[in-house]
Amino acid sequence: MRWFRELPLRSRLALLVATAVAVAVAAVSVACWLLTRAQLGEELDNTLRNTSAPPMLVQAAVANCLTPGTAPDERQSGYAYIQVVLADGTRCTAPESPPVQVKSQDVAVARGHRLDTLHSSVTDGGVDVRVRTQRQEIAGRTVAVSLSRPLTEIDSSLNRLALLLTGLAGVGVLAAGAAGLWVARTGLRPVDRLTGTVEHVARTEDLTVRIPVEGEDEIARLSRSFNAMTAALASSRDRQSQLIADAGHELRTPLTSLRTNIELLARSEETGRAIPPADRKALMASVKAQMTELASLIGDLQELSRPDAVREGPLEVVAFHDIARVALDRARLRGPELDIRAQLAPWYVRAEPAALERAIVNVLDNAVKFSPPHGTIEVALDRGSLTVRDQGPGIPADELPHVFERFWRSPSARSLPGSGLGLSIVARTVQHAGGTIALGAAGDGNGTVATIRLPGAPTPPPDTPGA
């Protein structure tokens, strides 16, 4: 069937429809022919049952037995063939009736074992006949009389019917093939449009093309799915372009600063003019800070560029309070002058340990960065809710909806180090672990409160190692 698979879909559908109709028409034609043959045979049998041989012809047949040497011919006598069957199997034909071969059933009637019989036989000339033999009283004498009718009258009708059904079947198959081709063309027209659109997108990379959706059938569902796919691809490409543009903008600032500082150092070496030690130390500190910022920005970009399935490792049961304690130790090193207070109740969650630690560190870094000198940062973990409160300037209400966007930075924080990617990474990590994160103003209006909520339990599952 390789040749069939190589045909176009439209041709295959038309061929399948034509084949199905041909099989159906053939089955109906055969059934019609068989039913007609059975009906005609039944009518012939009923005719033989309801017909009696004329007594004059029966007497002539008996006389023919008594006068040997009369040669029968194959001409039909009237309505049917008539012959008399004797007990010894001898047959006596009526004038102009061809002799019919005698069967055992006919002899049984002649001997009085049966009243009548109905069966098929054949003349000596090879003509198929239907025979009814019955006992009949003729001139005071009981004899077995066989009344026969040729089956050619039925066969001719059946042959004409077979020719008619064959012709109708051929016309039906041709009509079915044409109808199948029309149905295939009509049914596949939406697929043709879809194919043309896909080819256009592949050729031009134009993701704004949409397929008109009509109805609720499978083609409409396929069209909706294609439109949703192209919309998602277009959105992904726009986000990618925006990420590249934002990354280029953010990378330009540290690179420009690094270039300026390096050019100053190179010019000092080329001209032989030494930079004062204090200025040189400040210059080197600036270079180091810019390199650190650049490395952090590149790491954040790599983190955001990976797909979710690759960016995050497999989830496992971890101690939320232990990870928060490690992140607090790192935050205290970055802000030694700050008073960081923590109350951590045990809580176990299902997350990726490294990513969760990085997310908490990012939240604590923001609190350290915006806290005033010698300020206080309060950290609490209670029933899966980790809150980090600082005493910084806070975030205006109109800026809160943007804090988790990539590269977004508050106008008041653009002079501080950072890329605007930290909270975006935090949101991704928390969502991957099935939790939520929110930022808001402190209750007294002084500072900001970051809240991370993760589902879990105060005790580890029994199958957890070390539980």
What is the structure's pLDDT at 37?
87
What is the structure's pLDDT at 151?
87
Weakest mean pLDDT among 17-26, 147-156, 208-217, 417-426? 417-426
Per DSSP (E only), the strands in 269-375 are 316-319, 339-344, 348-351
Mean pLDDT: which of 133-142, 210-219, 265-274, 375-384 is highest? 375-384
Q: Is residue 440's pLDDT more than 60?
A: yes
**pLDDT range class, residue 465, cuts 50, 70, 90:** low
**Average pLDDT for 435-463:** 84
Mean pLDDT: which of 124-128, 271-275, 345-349 is highest? 345-349
Q: Is residue 323's pLDDT more than 60?
A: yes
Q: Is the dihedral of CA 258, 264, 265, 269 positive or negative?
A: positive
Share of the chain above pLDDT 70, in %: 82
Query: Which H helix or E strand runs over 39?
Result: helix 9-49
**pLDDT range class, residue 359, cuts 50, 70, 90:** confident
What pLDDT, in 10s, does the model give residues 118-128? Answer: 999 998 888 88
What is the structure's pLDDT at 35?
92
What's the CA gap between 171 and 179, in Å, rounded? 12
What is the structure's pLDDT at 420?
59
Neighbours of 34 (CB within 10 A): 11
Neighbours of 110 (CB within 10 A): 25
What is the structure's pLDDT at 235?
80
What is the structure's pLDDT at 272?
78
**pLDDT range class, residue 304, cuts 50, 70, 90:** low
What pLDDT, in 10s, does the model give residues 18-72? Answer: 788 888 888 888 899 899 988 988 888 888 888 777 777 777 777 776 655 444 4
Mean pLDDT: which of 282-286, 350-354, 379-383 is highest? 379-383
Q: Is residue 212's pLDDT more than 80?
A: no
More confident position, 453 or 139: 453
What is the structure's pLDDT at 294?
74
**Average pLDDT for 315-334:** 88
What's the CA gap between 433 and 450, in Å, rounded? 17
What is the structure's pLDDT at 74?
41
Weakest mean pLDDT among 74-88, 105-119, 329-343? 74-88
Give the helix ranges, DSSP H, for 380-445. Answer: 422-432
What pLDDT, in 10s, does the model give residues 292-301? Answer: 767 766 766 6
Q: Is residue 310's pLDDT more than 50?
A: no
Q: Is residue 249's pLDDT more than 50?
A: yes
What pLDDT, in 10s, does the model give residues 404-427? Answer: 776 555 655 554 555 556 677 788
Asked whether 353 and 324 are in contact (CB, 8 A), the reply is no
Q: Which CATH class is domain 310-457?
A: alpha beta
What's the CA gap between 426 and 365, in Å, rounded? 12
- Structural domain spans, the chain: 65-150, 218-305, 310-457
**Average pLDDT for 329-348:** 88
**Average pLDDT for 124-134:** 89
Q: Is residue 466's pLDDT more than 60?
A: no
**pLDDT range class, residue 311, cuts 50, 70, 90:** very low
What's the CA gap between 388 and 376, in Å, rounded? 11
Question: For the chain, what is the mean pLDDT?
Answer: 79
Own/partner long-range contacts of 377-380 (Cβ < 8 Å, ≥24 apart): 377/331, 377/335, 377/338, 377/339, 377/340, 377/341, 378/341, 378/342, 379/324, 379/328, 379/340, 379/341, 379/342, 379/343, 379/344, 380/342, 380/343, 380/344
Cα-based torsion angle of the residue sequence 177, 183, 187, 191 in order, rounded to the nearest 10 degrees:
40
Specify the CATH number of the domain 218-305. 1.10.287
